A and B are shown apart, each in its own frame.
Chain A
Amino acid sequence: MSGIGVRLLPAGERALLVEVAAPEADRADGDGDGDGTSEIGAVLALDAAFRACAAAGAGPWATVRDVVPAARTVLLHVTDGGRLDILAADVRRLAAELEPSPGALAAGSLGHPVVEIAVRYDGPDLDDVARLTGLDAHEVVAAHTGTPWRVAFGGFAPGFAYLVGGDPRLAVPRRAAPRPSVPPGSVGLAGGYSGVYPRASPGGWQLIGTTDAALWDVRRDPPALLRPGAVVRFTATGPERVRP
C-alpha cells in the first residue's frame, strides 16, 4: 500500500478534522470492540508528521496551534488568520507520502521515548480480569508486562493516555457499573486499551494495579509523562497480590 487515505472534514473557521479513510473491511477491525485499533497506526503516522510540520512552522503550519489525535482522526487547530484551504492541500500531499506505522512498534523505534512504569498488581478487578480472560492472576500480570504498549491518544483527563498494542488476550469490557472515584495511579484495562488514571476521577475501567509514577505535573516540562507515540513498558513491583 502506498500513502494514507484521508477524508478532510469541516470543523469551523479555525480547525480541520483529518479522518483516516479506512477500507470498509477494516472499519470494524475484526476484534469486535469497535475501537478501530487497525486505524491507529495511520493516526500515529499522521500525528507525528503533523507535529513535525507544526514544529518546523513552514507555510500554513506556522498557524497550527494544536494537533489532537484520537481513535481514527487528527484534529488541527489553527490560530486566527490560518488558511485552512492551504493547510488542507498540504495535509493531502503529506498523507499521500506516509505509511501507517505498525500498531505495536518495537521499543524505541521512530525516535519515540520508552517509558517504564512500575506497577503493584494489587487492583480490585484483578480477579475479574482473570475470569474474563481465562488466565490466572499471574498470567494477567505476565501479559500486561510482557508486551510493550504504545500511547495512541489522550483526552479523558490531563495526562491520561489510551495505550494500544498490548497482549490481545487482555481485551476486557468496562465494568458494568463505573466507580464514582478511582484513586490516582490506578492502572486499568478496557476494550483493548490500557491506561493509568492521573488523578482521582470517576471511571469504568477494570483496575489491575497501582503505580506511583507521576502521570501529570504542571511544574514539569513536558507536563505529561505519556505523549502520543511513546512506548510504554509496565514492570511488576512490590508484593504481587495472588489468589490463594
Chain B
Amino acid sequence: MTPALEVVRTGPLTLVQDTGRPGYAAVGVGRSGAADRGAHRLGARLVGQREDLAALEVLLGGLVVRARGRLTMALTGAPAPAALDDRPVAHHALLDVPDGALLTLGTPPTGCRTYVTVRGGIAVEPVLGSRSTDTLSGVGPPRVAAGDILPVGPAPSTFPRVDAAAHPSPTPGPVRLQVLPGPRTDWVGGLAALSAPTWVVGPDSDRIGLRLSDPHGAAVTRVDPWRDAELPSEGMVRGAVQLPPDGGPVLFLADHPVTGGYPVVAVLTEDASDRAAQLRPGEAVRLVVAPLPR
C-alpha cells in the first residue's frame, strides 16, 4: 500500500506547506511557504529529510489523521497536546506511527501553528514547483479537508540523526520581536516610534498578516515632509511592518501581497517573522530595535 495520511477531521485550518514558491512575485504570486519556517525546518531535520519537503501546518489543533502504512513523524511548532491512538506523545521527538494508528491534535495552549512532518513528505501534486497553499493568491493545493488521502513521498536516503530536539519554552510577558530599519523608516522619524507602545495582536490576523493596535490608543504618526506623501506601490517582504493611515502597524507574514502602497517603516528579523507567525489574537507584542547586522 502506498503510504499516506487519511484525514479524519481538521481544526480551523490545515494546509500543506513547504519552503514556498519563489520566482513568481513579479507576476503577482508571492513565495508563501510555512509561516513558522524554523518549526517546519526542525520537523524536517528530526525525520532526517530535506527542508523543502512538505508538511502539514495545523492552525489551533483539531487535526485527526490515520496512518496508512508505517510512518515516521514529528510534531513541531505550537505545542498542541497530541495522542497516538490513546497514548500521549511528545513534540520535538521522532514518532514511530504504526499502520492504522490515529494521531490526534488538541488545541495548543500557546502559539497557533503546529507542524506535522512525515518522513517522505506530503506528496500532493505541486503547483508551480511548490506544494504550499498561498491563501492570498489562491495558488497551490486546496486546503486539507476531512476525507482527503494525502500521499506520503518515498523515504529519503538520509536517516534521522537525533531522537529529540531541545526547544525553548515561551517566556511570560509581551513577546519581543526584533525589527530592523525598513525602506521608509524615515517617514516616522526612526524606529523609536514603533518600539514605545505595547501592541496587541488584532482578531483579523491570518497568514497574510497581523494587525497590531494599542489598547491605550497610541498610533504611529508620520513626520514631515512625509505626512501626506503618496507612496507608489512597491515590492513587499515577509516581515514588513507596514503603516496604514490609521497608525496601527501591520506585520506581513508568509502570504503577504507582493506589492503594497503603504510605507514599510521597519522589517522584522527572519527569526522574529517566524515568532510572529505563532502569535494569537490578543497577545501583547513589543517591537524592539535589533542590533544592526555586522
> Bound complex: CA of A67 vs CA of B23, how far in Å?
7
Q: Which residues in A have their C-beta under 8 angstroms from that of B230?
A: 34
Which residue of A12, A19, A72, A228 contacts B26 across the interface (Cβ within 8 Å)? A228
> Does B221 lie at the interface of the complex (its beta carbon under 8 Å from any beta carbon of A)?
no
- Neighbour of B270 across the interface among A11, A13, A66, CB < 8 A: A13
Is B257 positioned at the interface, with any CB of A under 8 Å from its CB? Answer: yes
Of all chain B residues, which has the CB nearest A157? B28
Q: Is B196 an interface residue (CB 8 A)?
A: no
Residues of B contacting A13 in the complex (Cβ-Cβ under 8 angstroms): 180, 267, 269-270, 293
Is A160 interfacial (CB-CB < 8 Å)? yes
Residue of chain B at shortest CB distance from A47: B26
CB pair A68 B26 closer than 8 Å: yes
State in angstroms the CA–CA spacing of A229 and B290 once bound together. 38
Residue of B nearest to A80 (CB): B270
B27 touches A9 (CB 8 A): no
- Answer whether residue B277 sits at the interface, using C-beta atoms and an 8 A cutoff: no
CA distance A222 to B27 in the complex (A): 10
Tell me, yes or no, whether B147 is within 8 Å of chain A by CB.
Answer: no
Binds A, one of B66-74, B101-109, B232-240: B232-240
Supposing A66-B22, A70-B235, A73-B235 touch, asked if A154 and B27 sit within 8 A by C-beta, the answer is: yes
Q: Are B23 and A14 in contact (CB under 8 A)?
A: no
What per-residue 1/0 map shows which CB atoms of A146-185 lie under 8 Å from chain B? 0000000111111111000000000000000000000000
Contact B28 A154, beta carbon cutoff 8 Å: yes
Contact size range, A: 35 or more
Q: What residues of A have a CB within 8 angstroms of the CB of B184 in the complex?
A: 9
Q: Which residue of B lies closest to A198 (CB)?
A: B28
Chain A CB within 8 A of B139 CB: yes
Q: Is the CB of A69 within 8 A of B26?
A: yes
Interface contact A157-B26, CB-CB below 8 Å: no
Contact call A77/B22, Cβ cutoff below 8 A: yes
Q: Is the CB of A12 within 8 A of B27?
A: no
Contact B233 A75 (CB under 8 A): no
A70 touches B233 (CB 8 A): yes
Judge whether A155 and B257 touch: CB under 8 Å.
Answer: yes
Residue of A9, A34, A65, A68 near B232 (CB, 8 A) is A34
In the complex, the answer to whether A10 meets B26 with C-beta atoms within 8 Å is: no
Pick the contact of A224: B28, B138, B236, B240 (CB < 8 A): B28
| B259 adjacent to A155 (CB under 8 Å) | yes
Q: Are B127 and A218 in contact (CB under 8 A)?
A: yes
The complex places the Cα of A154 from the Cα of B42 at a distance, in Å, of 35
| CB of A190 within 8 Å of the partner chain | no
User: Which residues of A, 94-120, contact B by the 8 Å Cβ criterion?
Assistant: none
Query: Which residue of A has the minimal Cβ distance to B233?
Result: A70
Q: Are A223 and B270 closer than 8 Å at their CB atoms?
A: no
Question: CB of B45 within 8 A of chain A?
Answer: no
Residues of A within 8 A of B (CB): 9-15, 17, 19, 34-36, 47, 65-75, 77, 79-80, 153-161, 216, 218, 222-224, 226-228
A-B CB contact pairs (8 Å), 20 listed: A10-B180, A10-B181, A10-B185, A66-B22, A66-B23, A66-B31, A67-B26, A73-B235, A75-B25, A77-B237, A79-B22, A153-B233, A155-B28, A157-B28, A158-B29, A158-B138, A158-B139, A216-B28, A224-B28, A228-B26
